[in-house]
């Protein structure tokens, strides 16, 4: 019995094999007509598998809309209460399925680790009764292989013409021969079958074998490679209830020999530590307050502007009813921040990073700006270890102790809240978000928020953005931010004093805040993500924390 039965038009088999492997690498068993065996009654076996599956995923495109097989499978799934319909092409659905809540995969780029799949995984998880459990290493290998073959989207996978051969010359059953041809141009969704003919039955029969015996398509090399990647990477080295490392567009890592932009040396760094004003707490009224200038300081001219964060208690994680809530944001726990610390008002900029490089720090590494500009733009293409190296340089130059914030410190600072009235707000400036509040994918709404054509790139670290209650900028969106913690799937073992989690998968580290291309759910104060510590991405930067003496 499979978790997911995939209903589709047989010409789209290459695309379905791709999607099926992604589902499997996220912990769900999958059945589609590849599993049919020749010599059996196909209609009965298909009905048996639909009844046994927990979910029937129907992929709607022009070909499947015109297919009686797909329509019949969708009708049976509807009667059984198992239907999850998804568009993979902009097409009018058959009238009887127009009222169904259909998932939009029309703009999915095919990335195995894309945010576009989030809603699909949520619906599958709700029907199956368990959330996705991604195999991290396997997905990474699968993603790399997909890119190596040109990163095709679902509608860019070649259409397949299936030619079944079910009998040998002596009349005995034989395995079907699966023949495909690669189009010379990007295919449209025009049917390959003869006009008025639905060859879905042939497609099911052609899938009736235990392995493919022949092919004229070079694309089958890709499919074989995918299976090899699954075998090599399927074990994984960590699982987490939520996978977010690459969004659409996917993470891009520049090649080692990529030319770096020339750096203009900034003014010399002053090493004298500035005098820190006494800490002033927000108004006791319980209202959110903007950060006050007397709580901000720099340790040197080229150093980041720091904001002092008061002591306090808060509930880490999100309420179950919060829109976008994930299992890894639980269980909610009360954390007591009993130490005073400072955190940077904004993300580290290219100018600040270049000051480190000019002073022979930061491993003399000059990250690429991805065409989004240097100067006051947030530094990108920096790994967790790169960020740690910058903090070490700041500590040497100023005599203060700089570091990355812990995950707990980051969320406490991002919430910007010391009162019960704002304890459950999803964002550091309240319950709403919109294009005027943060830099993210404005095409996607959150609880009815405004939609707009997004920027599709970073904003300057000091560019207009609403500050949270502590006066911090861009804790939601712009670039995701490294924190100290090793990856754990829940808060069960999180220290209660605000210290970082030092056990778990320490080859990966937690990333917070979401980025310029994320949907707003991933920008929530409680939203958690992760990446391998060695990753250098155009979506990830960091901000610093600094210890304060009492």
* Alpha helix positions (H), 384-434: 384-398, 407-415
Torsion angles phi and psi, residue 389, rounded to 5: -65, -40
User: For 4-159+221-233, which CATH superfamily applies?
Assistant: Toll/interleukin-1 receptor homology (TIR) domain (3.40.50.10140)
DSSP 374: S
pTM: 0.57
Which secondary structure element, helix H or strand E, spans residue 16, and what is its range?
Answer: helix 13-24
| CA–CA gap between residue 432 and residue 450 (Å, rounded) | 10
* Alpha helix positions (H), 434-478: none
pLDDT value at position 40? 52
pLDDT value at position 252? 52
Q: Which two tokens stand for residue 104?
A: 């939009």
Q: Give domain limits for the chain.
A: 4-159+221-233, 293-547
| Dihedral angle over CA of 518, 519, 525, 526, nearest 10 | -100
| CA–CA gap between residue 453 and residue 444 (Å, rounded) | 10
Relative orientation angle of helices 136-148 and 13-24, to the nearest 10 degrees: 150
pLDDT value at position 41? 61
pLDDT value at position 260? 41
Would you tell me how many other CB atoms lie within 10 Å of the CB of residue 339? 14
CATH number for the domain whose boundaries are 293-547: 3.90.1580.10
Beta strands in 49-197 (DSSP E): 55-60, 83-87, 103-104
Q: Which two tokens stand for residue 515?
A: 């980025």
Q: Please give the chain's pLDDT, 550 residues, in tens.
A: 789 999 998 888 888 889 998 999 999 999 887 545 444 567 788 888 899 999 999 999 989 888 888 999 999 999 999 999 999 888 888 888 877 788 999 888 888 888 889 889 999 999 999 888 888 888 888 888 888 777 888 877 767 543 232 223 333 333 322 222 222 222 233 332 333 334 443 333 333 333 333 333 444 444 445 444 443 343 332 333 323 333 334 455 554 433 343 333 333 333 333 433 333 333 333 344 444 567 899 999 889 999 999 999 999 999 999 999 988 898 999 999 989 899 999 999 999 999 999 999 999 999 999 889 999 999 999 999 999 999 999 999 999 999 999 999 999 999 999 888 899 999 998 999 999 999 998 988 898 888 888 888 999 999 877 899 999 999 999 999 999 999 998 898 899 899 999 999 999 999 999 999 889 999 999 999 988 999 999 999 999 999 997 5
DSSP 477: B
Matching CATH topology for 4-159+221-233 and 293-547?
no
Relative orientation angle of helices 219-233 and 136-148, to the nearest 10 degrees: 160
């Amino acid at each position: 019995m499979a978790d997911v039965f995939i209903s589709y038009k047989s010409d789209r088999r290459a695309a379905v094999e791709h999607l099926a492997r992604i589902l499997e690498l996220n912990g769900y068993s999958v059945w589609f007509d590849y599993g049919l065996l020749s010599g059996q009654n196909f209609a009965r076996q298909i009905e048996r598998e639909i009844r046994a599956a927990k979910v029937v995923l129907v992929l709607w495109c022009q070909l499947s809309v015109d297919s009686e097989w797909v329509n019949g499978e969708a009708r049976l799934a509807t009667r059984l209460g198992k239907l999850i319909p998804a568009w993979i092409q902009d097409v009018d659905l058959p009238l009887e399925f127009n009222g169904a809540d259909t998932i939009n995969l029309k703009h999915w780029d095919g990335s195995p680790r894309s945010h576009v799949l989030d809603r699909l995984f949520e619906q599958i998880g709700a029907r199956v009764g368990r959330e996705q459990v991604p195999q991290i290493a396997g997905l990474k290998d699968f993603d790399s292989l997909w890119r190596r073959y040109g990163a095709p989207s679902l509608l860019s996978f070649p259409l397949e013409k299936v030619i079944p051969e079910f009998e040998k010359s002596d009349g005995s059953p034989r395995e079907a021969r699966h023949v495909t041809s690669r189009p010379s141009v990007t295919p449209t969704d025009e049917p390959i079958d003869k006009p008025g003919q639905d060859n879905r039955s042939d497609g099911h029969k052609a899938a009736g074998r235990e392995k493919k015996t022949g092919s004229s398509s070079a694309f089958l090399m890709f499919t074989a490679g995918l299976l090899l990647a699954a075998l090599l990477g399927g074990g994984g080295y960590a699982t987490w209830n939520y996978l977010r490392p690459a969004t659409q567009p996917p993470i891009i890592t520049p090649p080692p020999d990529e030319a770096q932009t020339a750096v203009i040396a900034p003014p010399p760094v002053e090493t004298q530590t500035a005098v820190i004003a006494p800490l002033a707490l927000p108004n006791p009224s319980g209202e959110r307050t903007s950060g006050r200038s007397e709580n901000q300081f720099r340790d040197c001219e080229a150093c980041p502007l720091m904001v002092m964060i008061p002591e306090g208690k808060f509930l880490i994680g999100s309420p179950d009813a919060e829109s976008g809530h994930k299992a890894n944001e639980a269980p909610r726990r009360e954390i007591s921040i009993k130490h005073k610390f400072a955190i940077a008002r904004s993300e580290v900029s290219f100018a600040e990073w270049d000051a480190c490089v000019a002073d022979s720090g930061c491993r003399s590494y000059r990250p690429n700006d991805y065409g989004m500009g240097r100067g006051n733009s947030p530094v990108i293409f920096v790994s967790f270890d790169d960020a740690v190296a910058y903090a070490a340089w700041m500590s040497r130059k100023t005599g203060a102790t700089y570091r990355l914030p812990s995950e707990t410190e980051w969320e406490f600072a991002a919430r910007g809240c010391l009162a019960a009235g704002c304890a459950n707000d999803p964002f550091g400036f309240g319950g709403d978000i919109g294009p005027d509040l943060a830099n993210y994918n404005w095409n996607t709404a959150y609880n009815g928020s405004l939609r707009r054509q997004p920027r599709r790139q970073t904003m300057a670290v000091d560019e207009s953005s609403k500050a949270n209650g502590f006066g911090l900028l861009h804790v939601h969106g712009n670039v995701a931010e490294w924190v100290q913690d090793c990856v754990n799937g829940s808060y069960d073992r999180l220290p209660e004093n605000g210290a970082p989690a030092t056990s778990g998968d320490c080859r990966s580290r937690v990333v917070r805040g979401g980025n310029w291309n994320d949907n707003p759910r991933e920008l929530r104060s409680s939203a958690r993500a992760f990446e391998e510590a060695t990753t250098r991405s155009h979506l990830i930067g960091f901000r610093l924390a600094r210890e304060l003496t009492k």
